[in-house]
Structure 1
Amino acid sequence: MAEKPLYVDISEKILSSIEQRNFNENSSLPSERALCERYHVSRSTIRQALNHLKFNGYIYTVQGKGTFVKPIVYEQNLFKFYSFTDELRNKNINVSNVIIGHELVSINDVLASKLGRKCNEIFHKIIRLRFADSCPIMIETIYLPQNRFYHIEIGKIEKGSMASYLTKKYDLQLDRVVETFRPVLPRYWQCDLLKISSKDPCTMLERFSYENDILIQYTVSIIRGDKYIFKTDLSRNYLGNNLPL
């Protein structure tokens, strides 16, 4: 096995310091000279290490000012069922929620048509603000039919995963999920909660979750575009001969 280049080893040490929050987002890294003294390597090695980190999206440079830590962006792979809470906690990221509102609503004809339900059916409507390492990431508006989920313990879904809660309490067994994505600009009340401006782009995610081919949960999420991205990985084996040009 080939020996790891020295600059890669140094870049991993710098990245470890970033991941351990020794440097805040958009804060400047020490100068090249200071890094040379810290890691006992030449300036050319430090420059290679910094270029490696820059290429991989961890840092950025500002002409005449220095090198800075790039804001963290969380990534979600789309080729499987996923839970926001579980996915981020598996990456050692602290996830927390704040319930903005919970009420029982009678759905109107527009929402009933979207959900394939009868007008005036009673649903739980839950709005929650979601955080990753204390940074607001998304606002979720969740609709759950009361005839399937009679009582929702708000304290439990504020502290943990809603998917886990519904599975344990109501034996929810999802067999299909359909998601749509579209770019949007946030409304003013959403800006206040997400700590962004009205010009910062977001992703609106609509999620339709089915149990035995019956729509059982509808969620609309407004997600910060600078903090959370969705990824799909297409392979030749999966696509067959229908390769995109």
Structure 2
Amino acid sequence: MGNDALYVEIYHAILKSIQANEYPENSPLPSERYLCEKYHVSRSTIRQALNLLQESGVVYTVHGNGSFIKPRIYNQPLGSFYSFTDTLKQNNILIKNEIVGYELVSCTASLARKIACPAGTMFHKLTRLRSAKEYPLMIENTYLPQNRFIKLDIDALSHGSLYEYLAKKYDFHVDKATETFQAVMPRADERALLNISAATPCILLERFSYEDECLIEYTKSIVRGDKYSFSVSF
């Protein structure tokens, strides 16, 4: 077997280990010496395999410290109304929804300024931690008017799409939606849920969804800036 075929074979072997989470994101790959012994190949072959991993965007190199597993970045196109769950499913990535908070709340002054609701209007406030594999991606705080959605099945919302649930149970549809994006530094409680450091930037995403010209959903999300990118085509 030629050296070219051999280093490509080693590349696929290491890649398979990375995809199996043997080496977590941002963790170092084993030393070249260890990899040489593991795969019974020369150091030049290992270096060729590592170069291919770097060219493929799988690892990154820190001079003097070796190679590290590059975090996966999830891209969300913004050309049309979307669901994070549906977008990830299309890429064969299953998202986990963990309900970390639920309560019925009265419209506060700050919320009224956001969504122009009458004082005393009751809302379901649903807080979900959304993760792909074992990596938390975002915290979503969703406000839904109780006079439109009488009751929510919290257990069902732990296992599926919010929009699919609302469409099936309440014939919910969105005529239009607007979103705003802002770079923010997460609070301590948000960092704890997202398992990130104080140096990790996040994106504050606010969505306003309308049904028959009435605001029907307001969602305020804290999205990990190191795990998500957004794109739009003109």
Establish whether TM, by shorter chain, passes 0.5: yes
Gaps of 5+ in 2: none
CA distance in structure 2 between the aligned counterparts of 1:115 and 1:41, rounded to whole angstroms: 64
Deviation at 1:12, TM superposition (A): 5.7
Distance 1:175 1:49, change over 3 A: farther
Write out aligned runs for 1:179-194 (5 A): 179-194=179-194
| 2:172 paired residue number | 172
SS at match of 1:150: coil
Mapped to 2, the partners of 1:194 and 1:77 lie a distance apart of 22
Residue 25 of structure 1 pairs with residue 25 of structure 2:
yes
Question: What is the rounded CA distance, in whole Å, between the counterparts of 1:36 and 1:80 in structure 2?
Answer: 51
TM-score (norm 1): 0.81
- Please give the alpha-carbon distance, in whole angstroms, between the structure 2 residues aligned to 1:22 and 1:141: 33
Closer, same or farther in 2 for the Cα pair 1:92/1:39, shift >3 Å?
farther
Amino acid at match of 1:216: I
Provide the secondary structure at the position in 2 that maps to 1:155. Answer: helix
Q: Secondary structure at the match of 2:80?
A: coil
1:11–1:53 contact (8 Å) kept in structure 2: yes
1:77 corresponds to 2:73: no
Aligned 8 A contact 2:32 2:43 in 1 = no
My pick for the range that moved more, 23-32 or 62-71, is: 23-32
SS in 2 for 1:229: strand
Conserved? CA contact 2:36–2:43, under 8 Å: no
Distance 1:149 1:189 in 2: 29
Q: Quick one: distance in 1 between partners of 2:153 and 2:108?
A: 25
TM-score (norm 2): 0.84
Partner residue in 2 for 1:43? 44
Give, in whole Å, the separation in 1 of the partners of 2:225 and 2:39: 35
In the alignment, structure 1 residue 57 sits paired with structure 2 residue 57: yes
Tell me which residue corresponds to 1:220: 220
Aligned to 2:158, what secondary structure does the other structure show?
A: helix
Cα distance in 2 between the residues matched to 1:86 and 1:185 = 27
After TM superposition, give the deviation of residue 39 of structure 1 in Å.
9.5
Using the TM superposition, give the Cα deviation of residue 183 of structure 1 relative to its aligned residue in structure 2, in angstroms.
Answer: 0.7
Matched, 1:125 2:125: yes
Q: Deviation digits for residues 22-69 of structure 1, max 9, x if unmatched?
A: 43223333555746984979936x545533432443211122332121
Give the equivalent residue in structure 1 for 2:144: 144
**Residue equivalent to 1:200:** 200
Change (3 A) 1:199 1:17: closer
Identical counterparts, % of pairs: 49
C-alpha contact (below 8 Å) 2:129/2:140 kept by paired residues: yes
The letter for the 1-side match of 2:65 is K
What is the identity, as a one-letter code, of the residue corresponding to 1:195?
Answer: N
